[in-house]
Structure formats: C-alpha cells, structure tokens
Amino acid sequence: MTEFRGFPSIGKGTSIPNVFFETVLPRLQSPDELLAFLWVARMAQEKKAEPRCISVEDLWAHAPARESFENLGTGRKGLEHGLNGCLRVGALLALHVRGARDGELVYFINNPPARNAIQRARAGQLTIRPGATVSEWTPAERPDIFRLYEEHIGTITPIMADKLTETADNYPPEWIEDAFREAAERNVRNWRYIERILESWSLEGHGDERTSRHSFEEQKRRYLGGGYGNLPRYR
C-alpha cells in the first residue's frame, strides 16, 4: 500500500453538510455505516447526470470502496449492513428497482435533489434502469421480521424482502418472533425451517394451545422429521 503523504492544496472534494456531523454521525452504530455513507456520497456526487444513485454492485465493483470494507474485516456483508443502517437513520434513501435483474436497491444521499429525483422516478419521469419499475424503500416498510432475519440469518436480498413482507402480512408478530427464537434455540439458521414452524402453528395452534395438545416428543417429531414436510435435521 502506498504511503499517504498528505492532502494536496487543490483537489477534488466530496461535499458533506455540517449537519451530518452534528445530527447523523452520532446516530451511526458501526464503522460499516460510516463507510457506506461516505462511499455513497463520493460516488453519487461523481456521477455527471441523473439519476445520482448507487447500487451495492456499483460500490463493490469500485476497488477502493471494496478494499475499505475488506480491510475492516466485514466484506460485502458489512457494506450491505452499513447501507441498511444509513437507511435506518435517514442519511440515505433507496428505491427498489425491478427489471431485467431479479431486483435491487439503489441508494441516494437524502438531500433535496435526491428526493426530487425519487419522486420523478416513481412518477415515470426519470429512468433508473431501462425497462425497470421502481418503488420507494423506507424503514417504515421494514417490519420487525427484517431485523430478526438480519440478526439470525443474514443479509436480505430484494427477493427475500418480498417473502418476508408476505410472511409479516400472514402471521402475528409474536408468532414470527417465537419462530425465530425456536429456530435459534435449535441452532437452525435457515429461513425455510422458520417458515415450516409458522405453517405448522397455523394448522395446529401456537403457544399454550399447542403445548396442551402435543407432548415434547410429538413437537420434536413435527419440527425435526414428522408429518409436516419432513424437516431436515441440522447440525
């Protein structure tokens, strides 16, 4: 790595408002979140024309951005976690883009030009990707099931986000939390396993109702190889 000898007297710069240091920076919870914000700010401002947004693929393809997360030891997962954190505190905004690809998020700095661009994109007046449709992605669209998934399983892809949203619509929040807890207690970090637990509860009951009708051995049979889909055993 080349030794850094100091900043030049004149050079290109990335503009970051002072309010970032006063309001946003104290709310960031990890180095990943700070790095993610800085790289989106840098790369979005370097774009010559709208839309001034950046995808995860754009960031990961940029060698200095990728190396900063690799040197931190968090890699691409750290980048995605950092972007999610910046959405949480409102430093970034995102659009969900569906088109030729399965779907992806593109990120904007939360400033007036970006908010205007997002409105125009949603109205069909600004193209994000040729032939793609867009919808705004905000923390309000992320129920607790998203947090549980990230904590227990991993990064959420756009396709997985659709599945989680559907699940959140179909089951009570306490069922979802209990299903994640039960999977964690069995050391199973697998979404399909959690789905099977929820499906079985919808058929046979949940909580006290379930335990009153099934012995411990029957529960083991049901979750680890019984009549509800023959769940695989995990080690």
Here the CATH number for the domain that contains residue 32 is 1.10.10
Q: What is the DSSP letter of 124?
A: T
User: What pTM does this model have?
Assistant: 0.60
Q: How far is CA 84 from the centre of its chain?
A: 5
Core vs surface per residue 200-219: b (16+ CB within 10 A) or e: bbeeeebeeeeeeeeeeeeb
**What pLDDT sits at residue 214?**
44
Tell me, what's the pLDDT at 66?
96
Give SS3 for 133.
strand
Are residues 121 and 161 both part of a single domain? no
Number of domains in the chain: 2
> Based on the domain organization, do 85 and 43 belong to the same domain?
yes
Question: Radius of gyration (Cα) for the chain, nearest Å?
Answer: 22
- The predicted pLDDT at position 109 comes to 94
- In a shared domain, residues 172 and 152: yes
Could you give the angle at which helices 173-185 and 158-170 cross, rounded to 10 degrees? 120
Establish whether the linkage from the previous residue to 143 is cis, with ω within 30° of 0: no
Residues 49 and 122 in one domain: yes
Owning domain of residue 57:
18-138
Do 33 and 124 share a structural domain? yes
- Residue 229 resides in a domain: no
**pLDDT of the chain along its 235 residues, tens only?**
568 888 888 778 888 989 999 889 988 888 999 999 999 999 999 988 889 999 999 999 999 999 999 998 989 988 988 998 899 888 999 998 887 556 788 999 999 999 999 999 988 899 888 888 888 776 554 557 888 888 888 877 778 878 888 888 888 888 898 899 899 888 888 999 999 999 999 888 876 444 434 444 454 454 445 444 444 444 3
Residues 123 and 188 in one domain: no
The residue assigned the tokens 């007297």 is: 9
168 and 91 in a single domain? The answer is: no
Predicted pLDDT of residue 147 = 80
How far is 65 from 68, CA to CA, in rounded Å?
5
Residue 126 placed within a domain: yes
124 and 183 assigned to the same domain = no
